[in-house]
Amino acid sequence: MGSSTEEKVVAVILVGGPTKGTRFRPLSLNIPKPLFPIAGQPMVHHPISACKRIPNLAQVYLVGFYEEREFALYVSAISNELKVPVRYLKEDKPHGSAGGLYHFRNLIMEDNPSHIFLLNCDVCCSFPLPEMLESHRKHGGIGTLLVIKVSPESANQFGELVADPVTNELLHYTEKPETFVSDRINCGVYVFTPEIFTAIRDVSTQRNDTVTLRRVSSYEALQPATRIPADFVRLDQDILSPLAGKKQLYTYETMDFWEQIKSPGMSLRCSELYLSQFRLTSPQVLASGDGTKSAIVIGDVYIHPSAKVHPTAKIGPNVSISANARVGPGVRLISCIILDDVEIMENAVVTNAIVGWKSSIGRWSRVQAEGVYNAKLGVTILGESVAVEDEVVVTSSIVLPNKTLNVSVQDEIIL
Amino acid sequence: MKALILVGGLGTRLRPLTFSMPKPLVDFGNKPMILHQIEALKAAGVTEVVLAINHQQPEVMLNFVKEYEKKLEMKITFSQETEPLGTAGPLALARDKLIDESGKPFFVLNSDVICEYPLLEMIKFHKNHGAEATIMVTKVNDPSKYGVVVMEEEAATEEEEEEARVKSFVEKPKHFVGDKINAGIYLLNPSVLDRIQLRRTSIEKEIFPKIASEKKLYAMVLPGFWMDIGQPKDYLTGQRMYLDYLRKNAPGELLVSGDGIIGNVMADETAVIGDRCLIGPDVVIGAGCVIESGVRLFGCTVMRGARIKEHACVSDSIVGWDSTVGSWARVADITVLGKDVHVADAEVIQMSVKPEIVQKV
């Protein structure tokens, strides 16, 4: 049973806006963060193509407050490519993580979906969406959260939660607690029934400012209570926390990888994770070569069809090369993302770095870092149109767009 | 004629190279450092060289001496001090070897010095001025790093100024007193030895000032380049100067042509250089070295038997005998690799080698 005409599913992907994703600079100076390439595809491509695996998917909405024209081209291209209707909805102002969903509820409910997925576009994981849906159907309730176990030390960076080990019910939820609550955290991927809209509406009509135990900064303390508009609803604090323990919310635990792409360095890590996932799900996407007709490829590597790589170069592991890039003879690339139109000249070495669009890397030069993904200077980032002259070494640095480096630098942020 | 070369100590500033080779035998321009001086002395008519040392020499040094005594038909002996004698004392120690009935002056050279060695001109200068002692001086930009030789001011014309007498020595002056420093090459009459006692004595502080006060000390300004190559940074600067000198005077010694060769490059004929390289300027490559393809060498020395693997880049550094620099590796910033040191391939994600002394463990 389960007639496909009645059990439609809609997916909503929150993409944020220009005031969000500022930690992604300088890369986000040129491109909205959701469109930054990870493993050869725009960041948002990965959750969208995961949505394709949901049975009876009717529509994918991208919700954010970037200008519509920034997403127009992408949305029509991806709709064609994946044969999935994708549409970008611009919020007129920030509504919070749940408010955005609520703001477009009429459009979302047009297809009369039985279930609504809500995903954050900067989450990097295996997106086990069909499995989440099945699990949710078994429990009932308003929604199911994707959760993952992390190290106790890092747990307090996220939303910590406690779930019943037998029923998987969400018992307790708290955002970035000061003391240890649990090593299970919220992944930012949810499936809801349409009742979620009721829950959101109820929140905004009876907002209460509970005094928190958490220390607030002077800035926060001086914000008047009315500053938070009635239609600004945060999913974590306003929905998940209050509804925990009321047999309304459930959890689904993933045993696969999970990361958040907050900083440019993390995009390199997530590129690595998705490339290794491609190795399993669609290996034909990855490059190969042994140095005879095409460059030697080691490990998981993506090379755009229009990129030119000299056969004497050695590429990988964990390398993504974007459109029209040119990689010269004897170049060595390890753990890096090479963006569109980059030119890398003979015998250069790039390792643990992201090389921005149209940049040029000179002969025998080195662009390198130690590769600590979430350290401030753990991955070297070159912005758009950076020129690294011959034999120059750029180590553990961030270089803003249009800069020419003719002396070596280390541990610097070059404006 | 006779000469004394002040070989001195252990060459600690050229470590780790001097862990494997006594300093006089460390190569410079593909030739043991001391051989440059011995050959220059021979060309000036010296037949006997005394090496003033302060510790027992290893066999490799003794073998070198034996070999070149034969080759150059010169007598080369050692004079070993058993207690510190300073910069003048060793002359007193070697007195018997330096003096003979001929009464001719003898040369004294500091072993770390490299220059054109115009020793025949120095002999003429010494005779013309009737000097008891002649020292070579050289003009430098940063005289306060060294000992400054102050000349007499009564030189009347431009020409005479160059051949002036020495007035005084000032060690590392705080204010500018002159731009000429002691180049470490002396031509001394045997009577100078009567002034030196067999104890720790400084030639610049005690002996020369006395001779200068008697108006018997003259200084000749060294034409051409000069460098004290006793430490790596200066060694490489000296190499640049030396190669420039060769280009102007003996261009056949340099590798002037070939794809990928730029500027002054010296390479032993048994060295092998791959394709798509960019070598130079100011590079010396020793015997039996292998430079693989795609390599960049700039301002560096690659000593005998070393191998630079594909796509690597070596600049402003010294790669010691039999060492290897791995593929895509980078050696820069006055790095000195000793004998038989192996820098791994950059696959191991090698950062630029920091300016430390890298020694084989």
What are B115's strand-pairing partners?
Answer: B226
What are B188's strand-pairing partners?
Answer: B106, B133
Q: What's the gap in Å between the CA of B291 and the closest CA on chain A?
A: 14
Q: What's the gap in Å between the CA of B182 and the closest CA on chain A?
A: 36
Is residue A313 over pLDDT 60?
yes
Residue B95 pLDDT class (50, 70, 90 cuts)? very high
Closest alpha carbon within chain B to A395? B351
Residue B123 pLDDT class (50, 70, 90 cuts)? very high
Is residue A208 over pLDDT 80?
no
Residue A207 pLDDT class (50, 70, 90 cuts)? low
* Range name among B150-154, B192-196, B340-344 with the lowest pLDDT average: B150-154
- Name the residue among B293, B315, B346 with its Cβ closest to that of A349: B346
- Which residues lie closer than 8 Å to A341 by C-beta, 6 or more apart? A323, A324, A325, A357, A358
Predicted confidence (pLDDT) per residue in A13-57, tens digit: 999 888 777 888 889 888 999 999 999 999 999 999 999 999 999
User: Which is more confident, B67 or A175?
Assistant: B67
Q: Is A251 helix (H, G, I), strand (E, B) or coil?
A: strand
Predicted confidence (pLDDT) per residue in A93-130, tens digit: 878 888 888 899 999 999 899 999 999 999 999 999 99
Residues of B in contact with A346 (CB under 8 A): 276, 294
pLDDT of residue B160: 52
Task: Give chain B's mean pLDDT.
Answer: 87
pLDDT of residue B360: 34
- Tokens 């100011």 — which residue? B282
Question: Between chains, do A334 and B349 touch, taking CB under 8 Å as contact?
Answer: yes
The strand pair at A143-149 and A349-355 is best described as unpaired
Residue A216 pLDDT class (50, 70, 90 cuts)? low
Q: What is the mean pLDDT of residues B146-156?
A: 73
- Strand ranges (DSSP E) for A43-167? 57-64, 86-90, 115-120, 123-125, 143-149, 159-163
Question: How far apart are alpha carbons A15 and A100 in whole angstroms?
Answer: 11
Q: What is the mean pLDDT of residues A190-195?
A: 95
User: Which is more confident, B272 or A30?
Assistant: B272
pLDDT of residue A3: 46
Q: Is B296 on the interface with A (CB under 8 A)?
A: yes
Nearest to A48 by CA among A93, A101, A85: A85
Q: What is the mean pLDDT of residues A251-279?
A: 94
Is residue B346 over pLDDT 60?
yes
Q: Which two tokens stand for residue B91?
A: 């002359």
Is residue B137 over pLDDT 70?
yes
Residue B347 pLDDT class (50, 70, 90 cuts)? very low
Q: Which two tokens stand for residue B35?
A: 């051989």
Q: What is the mean pLDDT of residues A161-185?
A: 85
Q: What share of chain A in percent tops pLDDT 90?
A: 67
Is residue B288 over pLDDT 90?
yes
Predicted confidence (pLDDT) per residue in A386-414, tens digit: 999 999 999 999 999 999 999 999 999 99
Q: What share of chain B in percent tops pLDDT 90?
A: 59
pLDDT of residue A177: 76
pLDDT of residue A5: 53
Is residue A225 over pLDDT 60?
no
Q: Which two tokens stand for residue A347?
A: 């015998």
Contact criterion met (CB below 8 Å) for B132 and B27 = no
- Name the residue among B276, B298, B352 with its Cβ closest to that of A366: B352
Question: How far apart are alpha carbons B84 and B201 in whole angstroms?
Answer: 9
For residue A283, count other CB atoms closer than 10 A to its CB.
10
Instruction: Indicate the angle between helix axes B119-129 and B33-43, nearest 10 degrees.
Output: 50
pLDDT of residue A204: 63
What are A57's strand-pairing partners?
Answer: A9
Q: What share of chain B in percent tops pLDDT 70?
A: 93
Q: What is the mean pLDDT of residues B312-318?
A: 92
Question: Between chains, do B330 and A347 touch, taking CB under 8 Å as contact?
Answer: no
Nearest to A97 by CA among A171, A25, A192: A192
Chain Cα centroid distance, residue A278 = 17
- Which of A219-228, A332-341, B226-235 is most confident? A332-341
Question: How far apart are alpha carbons B211 and B78 in whole angstroms?
Answer: 27
Q: DSSP assignment, residue A269?
A: H
Q: What is the mean pLDDT of residues B317-336?
A: 91
Q: DSSP assignment, residue B143?
A: G
pLDDT of residue A79: 93
Residue B148 pLDDT class (50, 70, 90 cuts)? confident
- Which of A347-351, B211-215, B250-254 is most confident? A347-351
pLDDT of residue B352: 41
Contact criterion met (CB below 8 Å) for A331 and A344 = yes
Is residue B354 over pLDDT 50?
no
* Range name among B146-155, B190-199, B204-213, B262-271 with the lowest pLDDT average: B146-155
User: Which is more confident, A165 or A317?
Assistant: A317
Chain A and chain B share a number of CB contacts under 8 A equal to 53
pLDDT of residue A213: 54
Chain Cα centroid distance, residue A264 = 11
pLDDT of residue B358: 45
Q: Is B334 on the interface with A (CB under 8 A)?
A: no
pLDDT of residue A172: 87
Q: DSSP assignment, residue B338?
A: -
pLDDT of residue A2: 46
Q: What's the gap in Å between the CA of B312 and the closest CA on chain A?
A: 8
Question: Between chains, do A351 and B346 touch, taking CB under 8 Å as contact?
Answer: yes
- Name the residue among A330, A371, A408 with its Cβ closest to that of B276: A330
- Which residues lie closer than 8 Å to B201 by C-beta, 6 or more apart? B85, B86, B87, B88, B89, B92, B207
- Which residues lie closer than 8 Å to A238 by C-beta, 6 or more apart? A96, A98, A200, A203, A207
User: Which is more confident, A123 or A152?
Assistant: A123
Question: How far apart are alpha carbons B259 and B240 in whole angstroms?
Answer: 21
Predicted confidence (pLDDT) per residue in A342-356, tens digit: 999 999 999 999 999
Question: Between chains, do B349 and A368 touch, taking CB under 8 Å as contact?
Answer: yes
* Range name among A74-78, A171-175, B114-118, B210-214 with the lowest pLDDT average: A171-175
Q: What is the mean pLDDT of residues B113-121?
A: 94
